[in-house]
């Protein structure tokens, strides 16, 4: 009878030991999991190997394809530079090859300047390629649609080229960051320059593309020049992708305006400028282009853009002011045989800033990277535009805005020398008050 | 309410805009009306014409010479497309014809994009079309005024060739009964080829005329393809006079509406088309049940 008793005694001890072991193990495991942030979006699955994937959508066809192609080359350059751990990457603040030691992979999809196509492609990148960051676009309609997707899928979105106030305004998202100056910033930078150049009480005629970008620029520019007593002679609203602007230009020609503000962008800007010249509008009126497309002068010829005021995200002559701009412009020129326009600059600088932010956060986890970006006011980035930071409240980059004037063909020093930077307005001076943006950022998780 | 001079100006502009739309639509309606093929490559061929004149202008500097070379080039393109692809589809269902012509369009657009890139190409107005002309109540670009005349002559010639010579007759008979026409000793295939090529040249010619006005980009034909469909739906599918009248009506709708509010000009165009489809589905000059 002793055997069974012994057996029971050993069994009890074993049960007790096992229970303690399991309990202890669970406690350690719980402690361990608590230190590791919860999985979110494509993290950590997207970076479980040696690589991290970036999903890029940009218009390679459609009215904004020229800007989109330039943007794509910017991504090609920056991702190669980051992966190689080259000298530019180190100057921007990155350490070693890749980001946190991971090689960046990417694919570029043609968004055709259509928001639905862009969203479809980015959804594929998120689901199939586990994209850890999505970026690209030239139109604000695309930008806003991708931002919404990013927020829903909890994947970080470094917005490409987008000028609408809504991108960091009523449609802002916790997961979206925009580096291009908003329409408000561009208008605030441009208004004093044109107010001084053309005087007070000017009647202006507007050509406005009928979507978020066009309306945003119109509202911001008219508000910007109001202190100078400028009035609206006519506002001709036309669909995006219009080919023949004759009826709108006829109204503008007959409006009695002294200034023609052409808000059309991309191929529409080229066509409308050519036609404005043919209708005699450019002889009667001074043209202003609040946001000049990347290759507008190249496509219309310098003569039509000579003396035209406007703003850019970036113009290559800023290489004379910023060392990092010079590195970027020269590297781009060497590789692609022309000086980069601002589509390429947005792609290059935003990707660098994202990579630096990931290394600052020490993880690809989107909430941690977002917090690093939001904390950049106290720790600004050294960039091709000097020291810049994202405003935490709306995720708009606080950065200088270049105001430019078109040069005459005879004054050009090289084939890309279309503009002179007449003012470089500090970002803080032109930021829209946060309360007026209508931005309510969503949740981190 | 816009002033009377502005309304008159817009009415005149509607005429110019309409004549351009009529020219663009004519190539589409010629091929549809005579061969029964809905040519979805129309926009791409329009674009190809614009690039053809751009290339020759770069080389020669002569607009007229560029037009002649461009038309010859489009004729060759038309012959090749018909011989190599389209002729195999005359007896196929319309959905096959739409798919194959759509495919041709994609190939043409992407080939041009591969060759020239996505940037807009710069083509100036010819020297004889530079400047503006004072017309009393309005100032109008001289080139657009001249274009109205060029288009009027072109459309008249096209109409005479297709509808007042035996070519049109043979084609129509050939569509009804190809074998019978063949038995009568007429080479129907050659006539089909000729008509298709004329349609392609008309599309390319419209692109050439438009090239100095609009942005010459690989996608420039997209919006014109859609507008051409609207025009021929209004005028009547496959009707040549319908395309001319439909073009003029479309031009006037866009132009007059924009005198009141330019944001509604395209909406109004589609609204009129929708209304017409309800009231007279065959279009103004179309025949019910026959394309």
Percentage of chain B beyond pLDDT 90 is: 51
CA gap B158, B165 in Å, rounded: 11
Residue of A202, A254, A259, A212 lying closest to A237 (CA atoms)? A212
Report pLDDT for A17: 55
Ranges under pLDDT 70 in chain A? 1-36
Whether B242 is in a domain gets the answer no
pLDDT digits (tens, 9 = 90+) for B233-289: 999 888 888 999 999 999 999 999 988 888 888 899 999 999 999 999 888 887 765
**How many structural domains comprise chain B?**
1
The closest CB to that of A65, out of B118, B132, B144, belongs to B118
**Mutation to test the A interface, candidates B261, B262, B267, B269, most A Cβ within 10 Å:** B262
pLDDT over threshold 50, residue B56: yes
For residue A62, what is the nearest residue in chain B, using CA coordinates?
B219
Q: Tokens standing for B47? A: 């674009």
Higher pLDDT, A12 or B148: B148
Question: Domain span at residue B158?
Answer: 4-219
Whether B138 is in a domain gets the answer yes
pLDDT over threshold 90, residue B137: no
Task: Give A-chain residues touching B261 at CB under 8 angstroms.
Answer: 237
At residue B134, φ and ψ (nearest 5 deg) are: -85, 120
Chain A contact for B119 (CB, 8 A cutoff): yes
Whether B149 is in a domain gets the answer yes
pLDDT over threshold 90, residue B4: no
Whether B239 is in a domain gets the answer no
pLDDT digits (tens, 9 = 90+) for B73-96: 999 999 999 999 999 998 889 899
Report pLDDT for A323: 97
For residue A293, what is the nearest residue in chain B, using CA coordinates?
B119
Chain A contact for B228 (CB, 8 A cutoff): no
pLDDT over threshold 80, residue B186: yes
Q: Give CATH superfamily name and number for A45-181+317-399.
A: Response regulator (3.40.50.2300)
CA gap B61, B127 in Å, rounded: 10
Chain A contact for B289 (CB, 8 A cutoff): no
| Ordered DSSP codes for A39-92 | PBTTBTGGGSSSEEEEEEEE-SSSTTHHHHHHHHHHHHHHHHHHHHT-HHHHHH
The closest CB to that of A280, out of B120, B132, B222, belongs to B132
Taking an 8 Å cut-off on Cβ atoms, the answer to whether A267 and B266 are in contact is no
**pLDDT bucket at B131, cuts 50 / 70 / 90:** confident
**pLDDT bucket at B33, cuts 50 / 70 / 90:** confident
Q: Mean pLDDT across chain B, nearest whole number? A: 89
B170-180: average pLDDT: 73
| Ordered DSSP codes for chain B | ---HHHHHHHHHHHHHHHHHHHHHHHHHHHHHHHH----TTHHHHHHHHHHHHHHHHHHH--HHHHHHHHHHHHHHHHHHHHHHTGGGGTTS-HHHHHHHHHHHHHHHHHHHHHHH-SSPBP-PPPGGG-SEEE-SS-EEEHHHHHHHHHHHHHHHHHHHHHHSSHHHHHHHHHHH-HHHHHHTT--HHHHHHHHHHHHHHHHHHHHHHHTTTS-B-TTTHHHHHHHHHHHHHHH-TT-HHHHHHHHHHHHHHHHHHHHHHGGGHHHHHHHHHHHHHHH-TT-SS-BTTB-
Report pLDDT for A18: 53
Whether B250 is in a domain gets the answer no
User: Dmax of chain A from CA atoms?
Assistant: 117
Report pLDDT for A6: 43
Taking an 8 Å cut-off on Cβ atoms, the answer to whether B213 and A62 are in contact is no
Report pLDDT for A21: 52
> Exposed, middle or buried, A70 (CB in 10 Å: 0-12/13-18/19+)?
buried
Taking an 8 Å cut-off on Cβ atoms, the answer to whether A246 and B5 are in contact is no
- The CATH class of the A184-312 domain is alpha beta
Chain A contact for B29 (CB, 8 A cutoff): no
Residues of A near B (Cβ–Cβ under 8 Å) read 60-63, 65-66, 68-69, 210, 236-239, 241-244, 246-248, 250-251, 253-254, 267-268, 270-271, 274-275, 278-280, 295, 298-301
Domain residue limits, chain A? 45-181+317-399, 184-312
Report pLDDT for B122: 83
What count of CB pairs under 8 Å joins A to B?
118
Taking an 8 Å cut-off on Cβ atoms, the answer to whether A248 and B262 are in contact is yes
Report pLDDT for A110: 94
ipTM over 0.85: no
Report pLDDT for A1: 36
At residue A109, φ and ψ (nearest 5 deg) are: -110, 145
Report pLDDT for A27: 47
Distance set, CA A428 to CA A97, A219, A384 (Å): 34, 20, 17
Higher pLDDT, A191 or B122: A191
Reduce the DSSP state of residue A373 to 3 states and report it. Answer: helix
Report pLDDT for A9: 45
Higher pLDDT, A267 or B230: B230
CA gap A332, A341 in Å, rounded: 10
User: Do A45-181+317-399 and A184-312 show the same overall fold?
Assistant: yes
Cis check: omega of the bond before A44, within 30 degrees of 0? yes
Residue A14 CB contacts under 8 Å (≥ 6 apart), including other chains:
none
The closest CB to that of A295, out of B119, B224, B254, belongs to B119
Taking an 8 Å cut-off on Cβ atoms, the answer to whether B215 and A253 are in contact is no
């Amino acid at each position: 009878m002793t055997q069974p008793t012994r057996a029971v005694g050993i069994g009890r001890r074993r049960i007790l030991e096992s229970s303690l072991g399991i309990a202890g193990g669970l406690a350690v495991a719980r402690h361990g999991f608590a230190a590791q942030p919860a999985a979110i979006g494509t993290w950590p699955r997207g970076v479980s190997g040696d690589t991290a994937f970036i999903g890029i959508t940009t218009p390679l066809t459609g009215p904004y394809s020229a800007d989109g192609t330039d943007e794509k080359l910017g991504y090609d350059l920056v991702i190669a530079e980051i992966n190689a751990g080259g000298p530019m990457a180190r100057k921007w603040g990155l350490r070693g090859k890749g980001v946190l030691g991971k090689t960046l992979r990417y694919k570029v999809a043609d968004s055709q300047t259509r928001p639905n196509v862009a969203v479809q492609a980015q959804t594929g990148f998120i689901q199939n390629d586990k994209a850890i960051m999505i970026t690209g676009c030239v139109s604000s309609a695309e930008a806003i649609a991708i931002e919404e997707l990013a927020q829903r899928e909890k994947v970080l979105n470094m917005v490409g080229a987008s000028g609408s106030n809504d991108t960091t305004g009523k449609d802002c998202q916790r997961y979206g960051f925009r580096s291009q100056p908003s329409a408000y910033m561009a208008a605030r930078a441009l208004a004093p320059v044109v107010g001084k150049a053309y005087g007070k009480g000017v009647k202006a005629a507007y050509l406005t593309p009928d979507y978020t970008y066009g309306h945003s620029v119109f509202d911001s520019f008219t508000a910007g020049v109001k202190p100078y007593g400028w009035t609206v002679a006519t506002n001709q609203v036309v669909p995006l992708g219009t080919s023949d602007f004759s009826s709108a230009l006829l109204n503008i020609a007959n409006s009695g305006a002294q200034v023609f503000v052409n808000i059309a962008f991309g191929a529409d800007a080229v066509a409308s400028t050519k036609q404005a010249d043919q209708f005699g509008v450019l002889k009667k009126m001074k043209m202003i282009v609040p946001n000049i497309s990347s290759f507008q002068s190249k496509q219309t010829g310098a003569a039509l853009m000579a003396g035209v005021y406007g703003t850019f995200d970036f113009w290559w002559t800023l290489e004379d002011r910023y060392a990092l701009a010079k590195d970027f412009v020269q590297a781009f020129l060497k590789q692609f045989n022309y000086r980069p326009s601002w589509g390429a600059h947005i792609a290059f600088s935003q990707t660098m800033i994202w990579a630096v932010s990931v290394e600052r956060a020490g993880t690809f986890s989107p909430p941690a990277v977002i917090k690093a970006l939001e904390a950049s006011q106290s720790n600004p980035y050294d960039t091709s535009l000097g020291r810049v930071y994202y405003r935490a409240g709306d995720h708009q980059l606080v950065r200088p805005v270049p105001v430019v004037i078109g040069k005459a063909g005879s004054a050009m020093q090289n084939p890309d020398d279309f503009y002179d930077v007449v003012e470089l307005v500090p970002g803080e001076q032109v930021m829209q008050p946060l309360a007026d943006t209508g931005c309510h950022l969503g949740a981190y998780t | 309410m816009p002033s009377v001079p502005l309304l008159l100006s817009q009415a005149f502009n509607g005429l110019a805009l309409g004549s351009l739309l009529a020219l663009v639509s004519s190539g589409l309606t010629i091929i549809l009306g005579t061969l029964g093929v809905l040519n979805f490559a129309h926009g791409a061929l329009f674009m190809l014409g614009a690039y053809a004149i751009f290339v020759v202008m770069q080389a020669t500097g002569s607009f007229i010479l560029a037009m002649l070379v461009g038309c010859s080039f489009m004729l060759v393109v038309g012959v090749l497309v018909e011989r190599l692809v389209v002729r195999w589809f005359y007896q196929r269902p319309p959905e096959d014809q739409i798919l194959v012509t759509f495919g041709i369009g994609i190939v043409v657009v992407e080939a041009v994009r591969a060759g020239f890139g996505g940037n807009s190409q710069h083509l100036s107005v010819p020297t004889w079309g530079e400047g503006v002309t004072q017309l009393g109540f309005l100032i109008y670009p001289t080139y657009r005024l001249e274009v109205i005349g060029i288009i009027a002559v072109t459309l008249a010639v096209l109409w005479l060739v297709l509808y007042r010579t035996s070519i049109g007759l043979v084609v129509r008979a050939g569509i009804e009964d190809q074998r019978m026409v063949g038995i009568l000793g007429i080479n129907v295939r050659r006539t089909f080829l000729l008509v298709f090529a004329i349609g392609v040249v008309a599309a390319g010619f419209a692109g050439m005329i438009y090239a100095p006005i609009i942005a010459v980009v690989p996608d420039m034909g997209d919006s014109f393809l859609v507008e051409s469909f609207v025009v021929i739906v209004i005028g009547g599918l496959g009707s040549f006079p319908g395309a001319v009248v439909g073009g003029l009506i479309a031009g006037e709708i866009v132009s007059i509406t924009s005198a009141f509010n330019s944001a509604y000009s395209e909406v109004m165009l589609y609204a009129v088309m929708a209304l017409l489809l309800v009231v007279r589905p065959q279009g103004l000059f179309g025949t019910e049940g026959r394309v």
